[in-house]
Structure 1
Amino acid sequence: MADGIGIANLPNQRHKITSQHGAHFTIMVVGQSGLGKTTLINTLFATEICSPRNYRQRFAKQMDKTTEVEILKADLEERGFNIKLTVIDTPGFGDYVNNRDSWSPIVDFIDDQHESYMRQEQQPHRKEKQDLRIHACLYFIKPTGTTLKPLDVEIMKKLGTRVNLIPVIAKADTMTPEDLLNFKQIVRETVAAQNISIYSPPSDPEDEAAAEHARAMQAVMPFSIIGSTTDVTTPDGRVVKGREYLWGVAEVENEEHCDFKKLRSLLIRTYMLDLTTSTEEKHYEAYRLAQMETRKFGEPKVKKLDNPKYREEEELLRKRFTEQVKLEESRFRQWEQHLIAERDRLNKDLEQAHSSIKSLEAELDQIAAYHRQGGTVGRR
């Protein structure tokens, strides 16, 4: 048979099925406010998926002192191929003086998605499964140029064991090239010293070009990024996405300025499939295995009662209750003292009345005695 039996056509069949059904991809962005998370997402996918917050909304959110999880969905199409994109934002993270347990809502959300998917797999009807498992998590590092904050280290430790963690240095155009290289090295050393697990592109030893590309991606981590959806004109007349300064233009897609193109290649062009499969085969399976080893089939997950979202409210209520108890005790003591004083006054009046009665009885007895003797008695 000159054309074979058709086994070689299986990739074409798979391509056709995937093209018809499309794909879904879920990305989470974590970092302090003002680091350009919204701008980067809009720049990555070349459309406004996330609407930027104004400063009043951001200030109002900071007054709430809780980390929230917001879900944004969009349908994207390119050359007839559709993808359902879900963006998970985490406003409020790291914006306060006391950020204790501010990562808990984020970690709980990730675990809850694994739990939800595992529950759906155990149901008899599984065609309409809702899947919000995180395929990639971009963690935005503030460009301090010195070191990572303890908060950065703590949350990256927790995220790295649950999702494909990709650290990025935000606003790379605020640092000189030398400072940026030094800061990258500091981040790498901290990640290695703290045993933080970050996403590593797969390397195929049989494909030297792919292996070299994976090594190049690994070498530039953490990615330095510049986000901008604004068109600016360079001194040589080109119109590009970037930021304009007095000294020139910081171009988003210029690899001499930042690693945006490499990050986009990793997330979308080259390793999106690996990000989704590794979520299924590595992170979800690790969660499922851990739960099946500690729980009986069908047993519900034990919910933690120390949710930091309510802990501060609980402390406030406890404080109010204590103050109210003290106030009521003070009122009771005043009332008790008033009752004692009133009792003493009434007892004194009673003693005076009793004394008057005794005196009157004595006079009455004296009068009665004189009358019996036939005499008269006059009051003095």
Structure 2
Amino acid sequence: MTGPIGIVNLPDQRRKIVSKRGAAFTLMVCGESGLGKTTFVNTLFSTTLKSYADNRKRHRKQVDKTVEIEITKAELEERFFKLQLTIIDTPGFGDYVNNNDAWAPIVEFLDDQHESFMLQEQQPRRQEKIDLRVHACLYFIRPSGHTLKPLDVEVMKKLGTRVNLIPVIAKADTFASADLDKFKARIRSVIEAQQIKIYTPPVEEDDIAVADETKNIIASIPFSVIGSETDVETSDGRIVKGRQYPWGVAEVESEQHCDFKKLRNVLIRSHMLDLIHSTEEKHYEAYRAQQMETRKFGESRPRKLDTPKFKEAEQELRKRFTEQVKVEELRFKQWEQRLLAERDRLNKDLETTHLSIKSLETDLENLRLNSGRARR
């Protein structure tokens, strides 16, 4: 009987290759200001990746009511494994009274990254490709206790078709346990009714323990989180990340208080590779197939300004500009006519004055002549 040929060692080889190369992961956080996105990111990776002072300075300078895209890069290392981490933040989203098309810069950014990667793949040399394709998007939901706002529904629909969308309820410590469960149920019903696509971790049926854990994670969607980078002491003497209240401590990593640990497991410990692969095989391939079917090879992607909606807005703006120019031209012509009329009036007055002066000079000369004759 022939013995094993060694194929079983391939996973070990693969692990060594991955360990040597490291990995790259891009995470987008999206939601209104004041929901603890910066705190969550810093707590998730146990380091200060984003600065609160910089955020406040940026918001003070932001006077044009637009959504910005902020990119933060960092390199994390654990047990000699390096992770190239990119955090994409969207300050300005949902912060204004009129949020029409507030999601447009976010959607444009996601499409631009797919487009950029696709164009780089078509180049002769592809060794140093820049890849900012977003592997996971955390959409932070305000803890209103009611349901998703129309803006949330619209944006989540747009994002769900382009990225692995993970809904997150911010500031879970503002809810009682029963109220949080009701709020989750309302959000799940809206997601199902509106057919919003969200990321669902795959269930490994061959491993019962892992499958049960994954099913428990899926049942917790949308994830509730508590943000805190502060160490506090519990009643039993433990030092934990959390928030101190008169009734006790709301612990960030306690599954009785929120789903932070479950979300961290999905993003880092158990499903990061699936998030990367699904971005490559699902979202990027869907974008690539659509673009290949609708345009010629090497042709650039139509920008949002080329769409009928923005062309119509551009035409309307041009029309308003032309009308304003016509109004100003008419006003200028009227002013010019009044100026010319005033000039003609002044010229006539000046001519009349000159004639009067000449007449007076003639009379004076005649008076002198008559006076000389009288003396003789």
The 5-angstrom pairing of residues 337-356 of structure 1 reads 337-340=338-341, 343=344
Which string of whole-angstrom CA distances, capped at 9 and with x for unpartnered residues, describes residues 69-102 of structure 1? 1111111111121111111111111111111111
Mapped to 2, the partners of 1:347 and 1:224 lie a distance apart of 86
User: What is the number of equivalent residue pairs in this alignment?
Assistant: 353
The 5-angstrom pairing of residues 41-56 of structure 1 reads 41-53=41-53, 56=56
Distance 1:322 1:61, change over 3 A: farther
Which string of whole-angstrom CA distances, capped at 9 and with x for unpartnered residues, describes residues 168-223 of structure 1? 00011112222211111111011001100000111133322222222111101000
What is the match of residue 96 of structure 1?
96
Task: Read off the aligned partner of 1:335 and give its amino acid letter.
Answer: E
Q: Does 1:225 align with 2:234?
A: no
Task: Read off the aligned partner of 1:280 and give its amino acid letter.
Answer: E
Deviation at 1:332, TM superposition (A): 3.3
Alpha carbons 1:68, 1:92 under 8 Å: kept = yes
What is the match of residue 330 of structure 1?
331
What is the match of residue 114 of structure 2?
114
Distance 1:327 1:56, change over 3 A: farther
Q: TM-score when scaled to structure 1? A: 0.85
Unpaired runs of 5+ residues, structure 2, are 356-376
Task: Read off the aligned partner of 2:153 and give its amino acid letter.
Answer: V
SS of the aligned residue for 2:134 comes to coil
Mapped to 1, the partners of 2:346 and 2:70 lie a distance apart of 68
The 5-angstrom pairing of residues 80-159 of structure 1 reads 80-159=80-159
Alpha carbons 1:62, 1:96 under 8 Å: kept = no
Alpha carbons 1:172, 1:224 under 8 Å: kept = yes
Deviation at 1:257, TM superposition (A): 0.6
Deviation at 1:302, TM superposition (A): 1.5
Distance 1:120 1:234, change over 3 A: same
Mapped to 1, the partners of 2:315 and 2:50 lie a distance apart of 33
Percent identical across equivalent pairs? 59
What is the match of residue 237 of structure 2?
237
Which string of whole-angstrom CA distances, capped at 9 and with x for unpartnered residues, describes residues 327-355 of structure 1? 5643432331343465578789999x99x
Instruction: State the structure with more CA Rg.
Output: 1
Task: Read off the aligned partner of 1:215 and give its amino acid letter.
Answer: K
Unpaired runs of 5+ residues, structure 1, are 355-380
Mapped to 2, the partners of 1:3 and 1:169 lie a distance apart of 54
SS of the aligned residue for 1:113 comes to helix
The 5-angstrom pairing of residues 66-77 of structure 1 reads 66-77=66-77
Mapped to 1, the partners of 2:129 and 2:59 lie a distance apart of 37
What is the match of residue 362 of structure 2?
none
What is the match of residue 283 of structure 1?
283
Task: Read off the aligned partner of 1:198 and give its amino acid letter.
Answer: I
What is the match of residue 264 of structure 2?
264
Distance 1:231 1:322, change over 3 A: farther
Deviation at 1:107, TM superposition (A): 0.5
Mapped to 2, the partners of 1:314 and 1:236 lie a distance apart of 68
What is the match of residue 11 of structure 1?
11
Distance 1:318 1:143, change over 3 A: farther
Mapped to 1, the partners of 2:261 and 2:10 lie a distance apart of 32
SS of the aligned residue for 2:13 comes to helix
SS of the aligned residue for 2:305 comes to coil
SS of the aligned residue for 1:64 comes to coil
Mapped to 2, the partners of 1:106 and 1:231 lie a distance apart of 34
Distance 1:33 1:317, change over 3 A: farther
Which string of whole-angstrom CA distances, capped at 9 and with x for unpartnered residues, describes residues 278-323 of structure 1? 00000000000000001111111112217999x9999999978866
What is the match of residue 250 of structure 1?
250
Distance 1:53 1:326, change over 3 A: farther
What is the match of residue 368 of structure 1?
none
Alpha carbons 1:217, 1:262 under 8 Å: kept = yes
SS of the aligned residue for 1:129 comes to coil
What is the match of residue 176 of structure 1?
176
Mapped to 2, the partners of 1:77 and 1:59 lie a distance apart of 32
Deviation at 1:275, TM superposition (A): 0.4
